[in-house]
A and B are shown apart, each in its own frame.
Chain A
Amino acid sequence: MKNTFCLLFTLFIGGFVQAQVSFSTGEHNIEISSRISTFYNQRFLKDGESDRDKNRFRLRDAQLIVEGRISDQWEYEVQVDFADIGANNSGDIDPENPGLMDAFVTYKGLDAFNIKVGYSKLPYSRSSLTPFPATTYWQRAQFVRGDFFSRRDVGLTLYKDFWKKRVNAYAGIYTGLGESSISGGGDNDASGNPEFIGRVDLSYPAPMKYRQVDYVHTPIPLFAIGINGRFANKNLPEGEDFPDGAAGEFGLKLIDGKKYTYGMDFTFQYRGFSGLFEIHQIKAEPQNENDALFLGLTPDQTEGKILAGGYLSELSYFFKDIKTIVSVRYEQLDLNDLNIGDSKRFSGSLAYQLKGFDAMVKLQYFNNLNEQESLDPLDWNSQLRLGLQFNL
């Protein structure tokens, strides 16, 4: 009986998932696809805590994606998440799920570099650049979710690949408000200054896509290393503030002053195993001595700067014969070096492929090992998230 149920379920899903549809005039090709994902979340609270509002079903994604390509010179994409638009009606934008996911045009007709304009993912952090459907987790690591640096923005990106696509280089200039750039009429903050971002990554011996899982069991070891940095000088005029929510949950996403962010990432894939290590640091130099980031300390104590940072490491294995991926992640985060302590989390994930990455059952277990209690107190010890992901 159980096997019959399982077989019927797999056949049903297999028949349902047919992935993208495209139309072509020969020169112009338009592809339409959609993405739906939903999960149930169960939190296990600390003793004495009673707020169980996170124990719920949630529609994470309800996306429509239109991608176009004209000859080999122009590309464009619009990606909208209706689930996020509904959730963000309150005014708060979740940077990991901002509603409008992409709206950009790329020109590839120049020899020197490609040009991308519009709103899209920023070339910073391999983990951030890895598409969500290609991961086994329901949530990205804390540092790369969009609370410390923006993951998307409006602006201009120049990029180019070299050495048989093994080297990719990106440079860009953006409004600097991140996901908030598209709200509030699209205005910049009162500083009027942009953010600059650059990234270079090198793969060897072959080009590597931004993917978490070695789904082909690559027969030779593949490695990639990336370095990236970003800078914004957002000194606000006296009496001005950033738009609501733009500075992020911890007030680190935008700094009333100068903000330097830099990081590196390393990944490998070999025979079904894959790993990722990524580390980042923020150096913030608020212009005002009484900025909340200084935690009430004197300039002598702070030297006019604060540091925040963290790292994440992931190890995954794809059991090809049973279409199952197992992954573990460990992450550390220091929200402010002027505050003692840090937070540490462990996550495990399990994904069963009903039809490749286009239909997966995903389970993620979160364990809060340690927290920076005075800056980010949590009311839970662990949580489980189980759901389905479809790319149709």
Chain B
Amino acid sequence: MKKTIITILGIVLCFSSVYAQEILKLDPVKKIDILVPEPSDIAHSQDGKSLFVVSDNGYLFETDLEGTLIRKADYKGLDVEAVYVNTSHVYVVEEFTRKIKMFSLPDLILEKTVKIPYYGGRNKGYEGFTYNKAKAVFSLFVEKDPLYVFELDENLEKVNEINLGKLARDISAATYYDHHLWVLSDEDRTIFKLNPNDYSVLAKWEIPVLNAEGLTFGADGNLIIASDALERLYYFNNPENIQR
């Protein structure tokens, strides 16, 4: 009996080719509970004065930098999981319908809807969306099984598809900051800094946030993470300024 168990343990360990790497753990400097139900992504406005927050329940909100509600779009989507904002529009991604919705920034009126078909699991669809300035494409991230990134042109038409392999167990959000792509993994509780041209990992940090679903950088370069389950924003110093 003992030999059998030892043999099986040996087989299990031989499969275990992944070993832990030293990874820096970040500590938040501030936490704020927000009134947005189940926040599933956040994006910092280009003027640095507000946050756009989307909810699993299908809503789009604008809040101040402390998470206080400023306005809400007249819109009810299905499983909204990603948001990106530029100087003229707010882009919202619905995981359930596989649609990207484009709202005008001044009045949050829906201007355009584009469907990007994807036949993976219903709850394993689009989770991250941002504009990749280095390649001049939008990057649309699939959550898992497999981890895809779809590149879209300015008309939101798919022009490329890349399998990110075993980058993380899942991806729950993405943003572009300081000439790099940054993605968040909820299941790994990890932030990855990626080369925006080939999506290779340049650095990573562990965060103590439960159910982290949104990330963005503030005008001051510091990091904001949204926890869906706790309906809370976590504020971190810029991870690249932290000494190992």
Q: Which residues of A contact B189 (CB under 8 A)?
A: 216-217, 219
B208 within 8 A of A: yes
Q: For chain A residues 308-365, which have a beta carbon within 8 Å of chain B?
A: 321-324, 350, 352, 354, 356, 358, 361, 363, 365
Q: For chain B residues 183-233, which have a beta carbon within 8 Å of chain A?
A: 186-189, 208-211, 229-231
Contacts A350-B9, A350-B12, A352-B12; is A19 near B124 (CB within 8 Å)? Answer: yes
B5 within 8 A of A: yes
Q: Which residues of A contact B115 (CB under 8 A)?
A: 26
**A7 to B: closest C-beta gap in Å:** 7
Q: Which residues of B contact A215 (CB under 8 A)?
A: 187
A284 within 8 A of B: no
B17 within 8 A of A: yes
A183 within 8 A of B: no
The answer to whether B14 touches A2 (Cβ under 8 A) is yes
A29 and B211 alpha carbons, distance in the complex (Å): 25
| Chain B interface bracket (under 10, 10 to 19, 20 to 34, 35 or more) | 35 or more
A153 and B189 alpha carbons, distance in the complex (Å): 39
A13 and B8 alpha carbons, distance in the complex (Å): 18
B48 within 8 A of A: no
Q: Which residues of B contact A69 (CB under 8 A)?
A: 96, 122
B145 within 8 A of A: yes
A72 within 8 A of B: yes
Q: For chain A residues 208-240, which have a beta carbon within 8 Å of chain B?
A: 215-220, 222
Q: For chain A residues 1-29, which have a beta carbon within 8 Å of chain B?
A: 2-3, 6-7, 9-10, 17-24, 26-27, 29
Residue of A nearest to B18 (CB): A321
**A263 to B: closest C-beta gap in Å:** 26
The answer to whether A321 touches B211 (Cβ under 8 A) is no
Contacts A18-B146, A215-B187, A216-B187; is A6 near B17 (CB within 8 Å)? Answer: yes
The answer to whether B16 touches A22 (Cβ under 8 A) is no
B105 within 8 A of A: no
Q: Which residues of B contact A384 (CB under 8 A)?
A: 4
A346 and B1 alpha carbons, distance in the complex (Å): 16
Map CB proximity to B onto A178-217 as digits: 1 under 8 Å, 0 otherwise. Answer: 0000000000000000000000000001110000000111
A2 and B18 alpha carbons, distance in the complex (Å): 16
DSSP class of A's interface residues: helix, strand, loop or mixed? mixed
Q: Which residues of A contact B15 (CB under 8 A)?
A: 6, 9-10, 323, 352, 354, 361
Q: Which residues of A contact B4 (CB under 8 A)?
A: 384
Q: Which residues of A contact B122 (CB under 8 A)?
A: 20, 22, 24, 29, 31, 67, 69
DSSP class of B's interface residues: helix, strand, loop or mixed? loop
* Total residues of chain A contacting the partner, CB 8 A: 50
**A126 to B: closest C-beta gap in Å:** 18
A372 within 8 A of B: no
A33 within 8 A of B: yes
Q: For chain B residues 120-176, which have a beta carbon within 8 Å of chain A?
A: 120-122, 124-125, 145-146, 169
Q: Which residues of A contact B17 (CB under 8 A)?
A: 3, 6-7, 10
A55 and B17 alpha carbons, distance in the complex (Å): 32
**B123 to A: closest C-beta gap in Å:** 8
Choose from B14, B16, B120, B211 the contact partner of A20 (Cβ within 8 Å): B120
Choose from A72, A219, A322 the contact partner of B16 (Cβ within 8 Å): A322
Choose from B78, B98, B119, B210 the contact partner of A21 (Cβ within 8 Å): B119
Residue of B nearest to A206 (CB): B229
A10 and B15 alpha carbons, distance in the complex (Å): 7
A384 and B188 alpha carbons, distance in the complex (Å): 32
The answer to whether A322 touches B146 (Cβ under 8 A) is no
The answer to whether B121 touches A218 (Cβ under 8 A) is no
Contacts A164-B231, A217-B189; is A323 near B18 (CB within 8 Å)? Answer: yes
Choose from B14, B20, B98 the contact partner of A24 (Cβ within 8 Å): B98
Q: For chain A residues 147-186, which have a beta carbon within 8 Å of chain B?
A: 164
The answer to whether A164 touches B124 (Cβ under 8 A) is no
Q: For chain A residues 35-49, which have a beta carbon within 8 Å of chain B?
A: 44
Q: Which residues of B contact A21 (CB under 8 A)?
A: 119-121
**A249 to B: closest C-beta gap in Å:** 28
A352 and B125 alpha carbons, distance in the complex (Å): 26
The answer to whether A207 touches B229 (Cβ under 8 A) is yes
B29 within 8 A of A: no
A80 within 8 A of B: no
Contacts A6-B17, A19-B120; is A218 near B8 (CB within 8 Å)? Answer: no
B242 within 8 A of A: no
Q: Which residues of A contact B169 (CB under 8 A)?
A: 356
Map CB proximity to B onto A363-390 as digits: 1 under 8 Å, 0 otherwise. Answer: 1010000000000000000101010000
A71 within 8 A of B: yes
Choose from B5, B145, B211 the contact partner of A206 (Cβ within 8 Å): B211
The 6 closest A-B pairs by CB, nearest first: A20-B121, A322-B16, A206-B229, A219-B208, A321-B20, A19-B145
Q: List 20 A-B contacts (CB under 8 A).
A: A3-B17, A9-B15, A18-B146, A19-B124, A22-B125, A24-B98, A24-B122, A26-B99, A29-B122, A71-B78, A164-B37, A205-B230, A206-B211, A220-B210, A321-B19, A323-B15, A323-B18, A352-B12, A352-B16, A356-B169
* Given A22-B122, A321-B20: 11 more A-B contacts, CB < 8 Å: A7-B17, A20-B145, A29-B96, A69-B96, A206-B229, A219-B189, A321-B18, A352-B12, A356-B169, A363-B8, A386-B8
Interface residues of A (CB under 8 A from B): 2-3, 6-7, 9-10, 17-24, 26-27, 29, 31, 33, 44, 67, 69, 71-72, 164, 205-207, 215-220, 222, 321-324, 350, 352, 354, 356, 358, 361, 363, 365, 382, 384, 386
